[in-house]
């Protein structure tokens, strides 16, 4: 794939170009659909799936080192700002929190930091017997595969992974495949450090009917998954539901803090129009990043709603958050 698209410097751009290549192939053939079209479509889908598996493996591979380095920043800065400091029981920390966390990242550092921050005196994780991504804890949409539908408790703290996550899996519901939005969901627990041979064995298990796919959406894919015609992709129901709830969260926000998001062209308009601009006109929006402040400001110049907010003092571009 990389030799066909040498200008793609990231996997998500590579996959996007791969899809565009297939669409160009189809446009030249008109209404005809033959075996060669099916073969080319299947090849494209296989390449996308392989890219998602590679993405999961990459994040798993880097996670071991990240637990020793980057994780400390989550514990020292991000979690206290979300949950008001350490020492509280995790249930009260969640119920007392007046914010939610939305992330585009595939990594699992936030939830690992959350688990590490709530241990008992013997070092055991207090949340261990609860579904981490279920309604009673991080409220991310699913109860470790127990529920076939994505359900997020309204008006509670929620941790929404808008592009899915490394270690999350989805497949067409093996017990009821008549309803298009039903899926089986599974996860590799972030309590245990990742094991790549274990991941390989997991993917080689062949169920009778359906295979697991990474619950990951590349940036350009979410525009399809959140549309009226999302297709039959395994990731679609989760991505559509979580973006819908994220917009509800933003509509009620009094403050919005954006950390380290570059507003890349492949992703920018969908994020601004479907999330950032959903916040009330008088909500305070702070955009902090760690590279080129003016480049981000320039990227957002075309969005009149944000320009109006900046003029009224409700939008701030700052170099650092913490």
Residue 119 burial (C-beta neighbours within 10 Å; 0-12, 13-18, 19+)? middle
In 3D space, the residue among 13, 11, 321 whose CA is nearest the CA of residue 166 turns out to be 11
| Amino acid 114: pLDDT | 92
| Least confident piece of the model among 77-86, 141-150, 184-193 | 141-150
Q: Beta strand 159-161 with 101-103: parallel, antiparallel or unpaired?
A: parallel
Q: Decide if pLDDT at 177 tops 60.
A: no
- pLDDT > 70 fraction of the chain, expressed in percent and rounded: 91
- Alpha carbon separation from 310 to 260, 264, 267 (Å, rounded): 19, 20, 21
CA 302 from centroid of its chain's CA atoms: 26
Q: What's phi and psi for 161, nearest 5 deg? A: -95, 95
Average pLDDT over residues 137-152: 81
Place 163 in a pLDDT band, splitting at 50, 70 and 90: very high
Going by the DSSP 8-state scheme, the letter that residue 227 receives in this structure is S
Q: Decide if pLDDT at 145 tops 90.
A: no
Residue position matching structure tokens 């933003």? 250
| Amino acid 81: pLDDT | 87
| Amino acid 241: pLDDT | 93
Q: Decide if pLDDT at 216 tops 90.
A: yes
Q: Encoding tokens for residue 144?
A: 């470790």
Its pTM stands at: 0.90
Average pLDDT over residues 140-169: 87
Q: What is the pLDDT of residues 183-213, one digit of tens each?
A: 888 888 898 888 888 888 888 776 666 788 9
| Amino acid 256: pLDDT | 96
Could you give the CA distance from residue 85 to residue 186 in angstroms, rounded to a whole number?
31
| Amino acid 147: pLDDT | 60
Average pLDDT of the residues of the chain: 87
Q: What is the pLDDT of residues 20-37, one digit of tens each?
A: 888 898 888 888 888 988
Q: Decide if pLDDT at 160 tops 80.
A: yes
Q: What is the pLDDT of residues 232-291, one digit of tens each?
A: 888 999 999 999 999 999 999 999 999 888 888 888 999 999 999 999 999 999 998 767
DSSP letter for each residue of 87-115: SS-HHHHHHH----EEE-----HHHHHHH
Average pLDDT over residues 45-72: 92
Could you give the CA distance from residue 254 to residue 279 in angstroms, rounded to a whole number?
8
Residue position matching structure tokens 């089986």? 184
Q: Where do the structural domains in the chain lie, given as residue ranges?
A: 11-65, 71-318
Q: Encoding tokens for residue 92?
A: 């009260």
DSSP letter for each residue of 11-76: HHHHHHHHHHHHHHHHHTTTT---HHHHHHHHHHHHHHHHHHHHHHHHHHHHHHHHHHTTHHHIII
């Amino acid at each position: 794939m990389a030799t066909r698209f040498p200008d793609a410097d990231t996997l998500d751009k590579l996959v996007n170009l791969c899809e565009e290549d297939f669409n160009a192939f189809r446009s030249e053939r008109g209404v005809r659909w033959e075996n060669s079209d099916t073969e080319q479509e299947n090849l494209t889908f296989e390449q996308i799936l392989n890219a998602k598996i590679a993405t999961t493996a990459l994040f798993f591979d880097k996670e071991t080192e990240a637990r020793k380095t980057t994780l400390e920043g989550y514990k020292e800065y991000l979690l206290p700002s979300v949950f008001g400091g350490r020492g509280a029981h995790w249930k009260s920390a969640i119920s007392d929190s007046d914010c939610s966390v939305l992330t585009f990242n595939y990594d699992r550092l936030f939830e690992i930091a959350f688990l590490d921050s709530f241990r008992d005196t013997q070092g055991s994780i207090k949340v261990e017997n609860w579904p981490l991504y279920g309604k009673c804890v991080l409220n991310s949409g699913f109860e470790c595969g127990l529920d076939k539908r994505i359900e997020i408790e309204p008006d509670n703290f929620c941790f929404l992974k808008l592009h899915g996550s490394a270690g999350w899996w989805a497949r067409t519901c093996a017990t009821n495949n008549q309803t298009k939005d039903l899926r089986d969901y599974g996860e590799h627990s972030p309590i245990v450090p990742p094991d790549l041979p274990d991941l390989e064995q997991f993917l080689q298990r062949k169920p009778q009917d359906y295979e697991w796919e990474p619950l990951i959406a590349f940036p350009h894919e979410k525009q399809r998954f959140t549309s009226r015609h999302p297709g039959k992709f395994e990731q679609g129901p989760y991505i559509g539901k979580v973006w819908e709830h994220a917009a509800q969260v933003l509509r009620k926000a009094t403050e919005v803090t954006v950390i380290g998001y570059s507003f890349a062209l492949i992703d920018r308009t969908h994020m601004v129009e479907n999330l950032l601009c959903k916040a009330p006109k008088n909500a305070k929006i702070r955009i902090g990043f760690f590279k080129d402040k003016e480049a981000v400001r320039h990227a957002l110049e075309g969005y009149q709603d944000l320009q109006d907010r900046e003029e009224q003092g409700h939008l701030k571009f700052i170099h650092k958050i913490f």
